[in-house]
Amino acid sequence: MQYLLLIYDNDAETDPAALQEIVAAHMRLGAELAETGARVGGNRLRPADTATTVRTEGGVKSLHDGPYAETREQLGGYYLIEAADLDAAIGWAKKIPGGPNYSIEVRPIWPLS
Amino acid sequence: MDAEALLDEAVREAGDRIRAALAMRFRDLDMAEDAFGFAALRAVETWRRDGAPRDPAAWLYAVARRRAFDLGRRAQVRERAVHDAPEPIPDPETILMAAFEPIPDERLRLIFICCHPALAPEARIALTLRTLCGLSVERIARAWLTTEVAMTQRLTRAKRKIRDAAIRFEIPEPDQWPERLEAVLATLEIAYAQAYEDAAGVSDAADLARESLRLSGLLAELLPDEPEVLGLAAMIRLAESRRPARLDDLGAMTPLSEQDVGLWDAGLIRDAAGLLRRAADLRRSGPYQLMAAIHATHAARRETGATAWGDVVTLYDILLAVRPSAVAEVNRAVALAEAEGAEAGFQALAAIDAPARLAEWLPYQAARAGLCAKAGRQAEAADALRRALALHPAPAERLFLQRRLADLGKTA
């Protein structure tokens, strides 16, 4: 069973020194995921102000400068993992490092049969 | 005994066990529910015609199991889009001949699934009452003041999440145990709070209270070495022991300090004392044991004739240190007024943070009214009573508050 772990955080909140430590912690987590065979993929994303949203309304497509939703916390990265069940996926989600305030959304992958 | 009475008895005694065994065996809550419903329906007609089976519970389990197999097979056939001739539903009599297997006890696993912390608290309660206790959706909807349609959607969403997000049908791993157990305890606590709220509770809340007693007792039986589980079971028993004394002859709420202790249920108090002793032996304290201890201190009035209010205050102090809450702070202030005088209680109540949210909270206004009246602040007491009455109290509490307001008018 695969899960996407989406990291929502606020870049502006984290000071550069702390950020360095968080990046290092991500590297360690990535190694641990790879070691246990749980790692399928994952990446850090460029800040939300680099995002472009392609919106379709009434069948008409238009471009918007910015992320899908303007919220305080933004999608900053993700891990795609293999886990036996939701508890195991939540276990990994709790290990994802970050600043003082951030959220991890755990979403099961809907397999293409 | 006629077939229907026999079925009622079998469902009452073994329904939760059968439902749990089916859910675990087929890893599908919907299918378990359908299959059990089917078996219950078949039971009445078959037993009426052929006489009672030797073991009604085993009969129900065997028929439901067979039904679930068929439902599963048909679902697979549908998915593969192969159009076989439909399977005839097996005659229950042939199943009678099939070997009965003992009904495994899967209730603990089912409780952990229904109360998974990844499900919203209200969904956990509904799922537990529906899946384990077999309460009707309509009944659960009524208890949580929502429509049957909305409650059905909530249950459907929860069951879909269990399936699609792969919530495992297993006892949690040791590293998840504390969080998962906490979610179970919180679920039962909220379910009971709903039953407790209605002081009348003779008809409508009675079944919820009964299920809370049963579920917490079951959990204490299944997890005898978890002191907080024993604490919760004790707490519910102690609170429930006072139910017969909570209304006066006119249907008005009687506050704890004015209740006739002779009406308290001595059996429930005794059960709770035993549970608390066992919990204490395990030497791991926690909020549920503390809350039960507070109830037990009140219950002791039945024997001693007086309440040790100083002990109650101390217990609230410890409780607030491990689990801060506005409810506990308000109750502590009321206890403090009894232990050290009305003014001390009044000051403690006034010192509670977040007064804006508290102002809209009925128990706070009721407590404020009581403390103000005791402290001789009649105008403030009347104001608090009027605010409380505006917050939609239940009929029994409304009567009580109205009476207090009338009494104030006499003394002023």
Closest CA to B202 of B237, B239, B233, B245: B245
Half-sphere exposure of B280 (CA within 13 A, CB side): 10
Give pLDDT, residue B72: 84
Name residue, tokens 């697979």.
B76
Residues 6+ positions from B318 with CB-CB distance below 8 Å: B290
**Rounded to whole angstroms, how far apart are CA atoms B80 and B359?**
60
Cβ–Cβ contact A110 with B under 8 A: yes
Query: Between B395-411 and B362-374, two packed helices, what is the crossing angle to 10 degrees?
Result: 20
Residue B194, CA distances (Å) to B143, B179, B396 in order: 7, 23, 15
pLDDT of residue B132 exceeding 70, the answer is: yes
pLDDT of residue B241 exceeding 90, the answer is: yes
Could you tell me the two tokens for B347?
A: 């000051």
- Provide the 3-class DSSP secondary structure of residue B370: helix
- Which amino acid is it at B204? D
Among B159, B161, B162, B168, which would you mutate to test the A interface (most chain A Cβ atoms within 10 Å of its Cβ)?
A: B168
Residues 6+ positions from B52 with CB-CB distance below 8 Å: B1, B3, B6
CA B324, B329, B330, B335 dihedral sign is: positive
- CB-CB contact of B325 with B337 (8 Å): no
Residue B62, CA distances (Å) to B9, B18, B32, B71, B206 in order: 17, 10, 12, 14, 32
Residue of A nearest to B175 (CA): A91
- Starting from the edge strand earliest in sequence, which strands make up the sheet with A39-44, in order? A39-44, A74-82, A2-9, A102-108
Half-sphere exposure of B290 (CA within 13 A, CB side): 19
pLDDT of residue B205 exceeding 70, the answer is: no
Among A86, A103, A105, A106, which would you mutate to test the B interface (most chain B Cβ atoms within 10 Å of its Cβ)?
A: A86
Name which of B165, B173, B175 is nearest A86 (Cβ-Cβ).
B165
Residue of A nearest to B112 (CA): A87
**Rounded to whole angstroms, how far apart are CA atoms B361 and B32?**
41
Give pLDDT, residue B282: 97
The ipTM value here is: 0.84
Indicate yes or no: pTM above 0.90: no
Q: Where are the alpha helices (DSSP H) in B309-394?
A: 309-322, 326-340, 342-350, 355-358, 362-374, 378-389
- Which amino acid is it at B221? E
Among A2, A87, A92, which would you mutate to test the B interface (most chain B Cβ atoms within 10 Å of its Cβ)?
A: A87
Closest CA to B236 of B216, B206, B211, B256: B216
Cβ–Cβ contact B178 with A under 8 A: no
- Provide the 3-class DSSP secondary structure of residue A101: coil
Residues 6+ positions from B130 with CB-CB distance below 8 Å: B33, B137, B140, B155
Cβ–Cβ contact A12 with B under 8 A: no
Question: What would the mean pLDDT of B155-166 be, rounded to a whole number?
Answer: 94
Residue of A nearest to B119 (CA): A86
pLDDT tens digit sequence for B206-217: 788 999 999 999
Cβ–Cβ contact A87 with B under 8 A: yes
Using alpha carbons only, what angle is made at residue B261 by residues B260 and B262, rounded to the nearest 5 degrees? 90
pLDDT tens digit sequence for B72-120: 887 776 666 545 555 555 555 555 555 567 888 999 999 999 999 999 9
Cβ–Cβ contact A113 with B under 8 A: no
Q: Do B167 and A91 touch (CB under 8 A)?
A: no
Name which of A84, A86, A110 is nearest B118 (Cβ-Cβ).
A86
Q: Which domains does chain A have, with CATH numbers?
A: 2-108 (3.30.70.1060)
CA B164, B169, B174, B176 dihedral sign is: positive
Cβ–Cβ contact B386 with A under 8 A: no
Among the ranges given (A21-25, B75-79, B276-280, B380-384), the one the predictor scored with the smallest mean pLDDT: B75-79
Using alpha carbons only, what angle is made at residue B235 by residues B400 and B259, rounded to the nearest 5 degrees? 30
**Rounded to whole angstroms, how far apart are CA atoms B392 and B394?**
7
pLDDT tens digit sequence for B2-48: 889 999 999 999 999 999 999 999 999 999 999 999 999 999 999 99
Instruction: Quickly count helices (H) and strands (E) in chain B.
Output: 21, 0
- Count CB neighbours of B19 within 10 A: 26
